[in-house]
Amino acid sequence: MAAPADALHAVGVHQTETLLFFTLLQLAVIILAARAGGRLALRLGQSAAVGEIITGILLGPSLFGWLAPGLFDYVFHSAPPEPMQILSQVGLLLLMFQIGMEFDFGHLGERRHRRTVAWVAAAGLLLPFALGFGLGAGAPAMQVDGGKAVLTGLFVATAFSITALPILGRIMIEFQLSRSALGVIAISAAAINDVVGWLLLALVSTLAVAGFQPLAFAGQIVLVFGFFALCWWGVRPLLRRAVRHAKPGRGRFPPELMGLLLAMIFVAGMTTYQLGIFAIFGGFMMGVILHDEHGLREAWETRVGHFVAVFFLPIFFTYTGLRTDIGSLDTPAAWGWCALVVVLATAGKFGGSWLAARRCGLGHHEASILGIMMNTRALMELVVINVGYDLGVISREVFTMLVIMAIVSTVVTTPCLRRWLPKIGHRLPSVVRE
């Protein structure tokens, strides 16, 4: 007979192996489904990320759990959710570093069209923010229990204001818009929107954690900005020196530099968590301070970025999908509120950008193209609403409405550009036509 200690050890090993089995099963399903969804999206003229986002939603209770509840429970509910949650957050931390590096702050100093950029950025931020805050704080159907109307309004407003800079940049490259006047205006205005949007998200997250205690809230804001200042003026020079000594490039990424960067990303994430905001902001800040290291960006994209996109990103999309239950919108009133969310978010971002562009002298079709590009939300929207959901300031129904809004605002971008670009004399690349 086995000793009690040996028996407990055997049970522990079995539990670990069981957890590993179901985690590997989930990963296999998620990765294969994401690749299929991405390929299908490309065939339909959409970005691969759009297909992966929709696939992640379909793997949740909205479709998989509805069509095959027994199999869905076996795959996703046979083991604790913590391993997938941790993997999704680690992946998101690495992705936010990558997104931070992709910010081209040179666009913000572009002299040509600077007036148009300023107007479009301001209108494309303020109008959706006002509409989102009014809806989130003023409509009882959008609020959660516990008297968090103001916080709900602020999160909905921030979600309305975001533009997905990485997805927009890829769409612009596909349509050969990155060097056009409209492309420069759009990417510059989107960069301003996202910088302000992430600052807003950090501040609102701090407010949600600190509550309405003025001294605690002010203290956390000071600490957060102190951390950002330390990163920019203290950490940035040291990391840039290490990067330039290692000389990374498309075919070269020294292991020592990769290890240093990963450690710094994780330490920065730990720091922002300790400061009372989400760890992802630490990863984003590490990317921002290295945004002008082009060799590093190429090396990261070649050696790490593809793995993040293929392995970690679908996990985050599925993690979001498991929280999204379209079936929870089970009344005409709920779908009416969902439609209102989509309409107001689009009217705020598209309408604000269109009006600003028209005021600065752009034609109707040019202003429409600019508006639809600024209305692209995709991944950035999902990050914002996951933060709001984790903090308990938006309900699951509102979470689902905002996910639907993010998908709709991204899916319409490509067909609208395909329709309007020829009207301003811009020739569509053959790969886009297909």
Q: Kindly provide the b/e burial profile for residues 29-68, where b requires at least 16 CB atoms within 10 angstroms of the residue's own CB.
A: bbeebbbebbeebeeeebbbbbbbbbbbbbbbbbbbbeee
Nearest of 129, 159, 105, 166 to residue 292 by alpha carbon: 105
Q: Note the pLDDT of residue 379.
A: 74
| Burial track 293-323 (b if 16+ CB lie within 10 A, e otherwise) | bebbbbbbbeebbeebbebbbbbbbbbbbbb
For residues 342 and 105, the answer to whether their CB atoms sit within 8 Å is: no
Pair 145, 217: CB distance under 8 Å:
no
Task: Go through the chain and tell me how many residues it has.
Answer: 434
398-408 confidence digits (pLDDT tens): 899 999 998 89
pLDDT at 433: 41
Q: What is the pLDDT of residues 74-98, one digit of tens each?
A: 999 888 888 888 998 898 889 888 8
Q: What gap in Å lies between CA 206 and CA 278, rounded to an integer?
A: 9
Write the CB contacts of 358 (distance below 8 Å, at least 6 apart in sequence): 364, 367
Q: Which domains does the chain have, with CATH numbers?
A: 88-294+329-433 (1.20.1530.20)
- Rounded Cα–Cα distance for residues 19 and 81 (Å): 10
Task: Please state the separation of Cα 134 from the chain's center in Å.
Answer: 23
Residue 388: predicted pLDDT: 85
Assign 3-class secondary structure to 155-191: HHHHHHHCCCHHHHHHHHHHCCCCCCHHHHHHHHHHH
Q: How far apart are the C-alpha atoms of 146 and 282, rounded to whole Å?
A: 29
Output the CA–CA distances (angstroms, integers) from residue 286 to 195, 210, 271, 293, in the order listed: 14, 25, 12, 12
User: Residue 111's pLDDT is what?
Assistant: 61
Q: Which residue has the tokens 């009372």?
A: 276
How far, CA to CA in Å, does 139 sit from each of 149, 159, 160, 200? Answer: 9, 16, 16, 22
Residue ranges of the alpha helices (H) in 1-81?
4-43, 48-58, 64-67, 69-76
Q: Given this model, what pLDDT does residue 8 score?
A: 55
Euclidean distance between the first and the last CA atom of the chain, given in angstroms as a whole number: 69
* Cα 105 from Cα 88, distance rounded (Å): 28
Distance, in Å, from the CA atom of 155 to the CA atom of 143, rounded to the nearest integer, reads 11
What pLDDT was estimated at residue 29? 94
Rounded distance, CA 381 to CA 196, Å?
Answer: 14
pTM higher than 0.85, yes or no? no
Q: Supply the pLDDT for residue 243.
A: 92
Each residue's pLDDT, cut to its tens digit, for the chain (434 residues) gives: 455 666 656 666 678 899 999 999 999 999 999 999 989 988 887 877 788 888 988 998 888 998 999 999 999 988 888 888 899 889 888 988 887 887 666 655 556 567 888 899 899 999 999 999 999 888 888 877 766 788 888 889 998 988 877 677 777 767 877 667 787 788 778 878 877 777 788 778 877 776 656 676 677 778 888 998 999 999 999 999 999 999 898 778 999 999 999 999 999 999 988 887 778 888 888 988 998 888 998 899 888 888 988 898 889 888 888 888 888 888 899 899 999 999 999 999 999 999 999 988 888 899 999 999 999 887 778 888 888 888 888 888 889 999 999 889 888 888 888 888 888 888 777 654 43
What does each C-alpha distance from 19 to 22, 24, 69, 84 come to in angstroms?
5, 9, 20, 11
